Amino acid sequence: MSRAVLSWIVERLDHGERVALASVIEARGSVPGKPGAKLAISSMGEKFGTVGGAGLELKIERNLIEMLAIDKSKMRKTGGKIETYILHKEGKGKEAVALDSLCGGQLRVSLEVIEPVPHILIAGGGHVGMSVSIVCETLGWKYSVFDVRSEYSNLERYPKASEILCSSVDELLGNETVSSIRRFSDILVLGHDWSVDQELLIGLLKILDGVPRIGVIGSTTKWNGFRKAAIESGLTEEKLSPARCPIGLDIGADTPEEIALAICAEILSFDRKTR
């Protein structure tokens, strides 16, 4: 069961979801859940596994949902916790949770929230895209690559990419949904051709619901042109809000390597809620 739960957790994380996990670490007396029993709940409300059922599981499930409601930047600072549950309605003690049960057993359960690592879609596999991939590898982040040009989006150029996507913009967008696109935490529009970038940006904004974030490389003038085209295509200012341009922290970056560092530092600052 532990392996099945852990596999399910990895799958949810790969979809960009947060997962709250309860693991029984100690059991005494008559208890429904034995050491190693696990229950996981995703931020989308799905659950997998069991810690024994009945009132115990309901209580733990509520605790996990409460933890998922805590902002991830705060959760990162506070960490998880270990709770002791007494399966008897007369159970007392400030450091234990008494349950309406007559079993008389006691369990210690660890509760934690597992966060997905950033997964960046590098839309444009040129010099900046290559530099971004190197920073991602250094940080242990996932990244995928999209380019309309096969010579800039292939496994030889990006052997460690999670996905290699090479097609027209229309085909890429046709294969994505609001749900599937959530596997990416950020989409970086770094293309070589402004018309390709504009088509991709407008197409993405039409299917997104605020996630993932979109960053567009370029000047304020370039962004004003994109914004005008987006509004003319029927998008509202609210639908434009997930996108930002120019991208990257203002560190005076000039080279592709420096720009990549500034971009990833900005993503980290968003992820840690320091901006």
Max intra-chain CA distance, the chain: 70
Question: With pLDDT > 90 as the criterion, what percentage of the chain qualifies?
Answer: 68
CATH class, range 119-271? alpha beta
Tens-place pLDDT, residues 75-93: 888 888 999 888 755 445 4
Q: Do the Cβ atoms of 135 and 202 come closer than 8 Å?
A: no
Predicted pLDDT of residue 56? 82
Burial grade of 31 (CB within 10 A; 0-12, 13-18, 19 or more): buried
Q: CA-CA distance, 171 to 148, in Å (whole number)?
A: 10
Q: CA-CA distance, 157 to 139, in Å (whole number)?
A: 19
Contact residues for 225 (Cβ-Cβ < 8 A; gap 6+): 194, 198
Q: Is residue 220 pLDDT above 60, yes or no?
A: yes
Mean residue pLDDT of the chain comes to 89
Going 220 to 221 to 222 to 223, the CA torsion angle's sign is positive
Kindly report which listed range (59-63, 75-79, 247-251) carries the lowest average pLDDT score.
Answer: 75-79
Structure tokens given for 222: 């370039």
Backbone angle region of 133, left / alpha / beta, with phi > 0 → left and psi within -120 to 50 → alpha:
alpha
Model confidence band, residue 99 (pLDDT cutoffs 50, 70, 90): very low
Q: Is residue 163 pLDDT above 60, yes or no?
A: yes
> What single DSSP character describes residue 197?
H
Q: Are strands 47-50 and 38-42 parallel, antiparallel or unpaired?
A: antiparallel
**AA letter at 2:** S
Model confidence band, residue 104 (pLDDT cutoffs 50, 70, 90): low
Q: Do the Cβ atoms of 37 and 49 come closer than 8 Å?
A: yes
Tens-place pLDDT, residues 106-152: 888 999 999 999 999 999 999 999 999 999 999 999 999 999 999 99
Model confidence band, residue 100 (pLDDT cutoffs 50, 70, 90): very low
Q: Where are the domains of the chain?
A: 2-114, 119-271
**In the β-sheet with 106-114, what is the strand arrangement from edge to edge?**
47-50, 38-42, 19-28, 106-114, 81-86, 97-98
Structure tokens given for 143: 């990244």
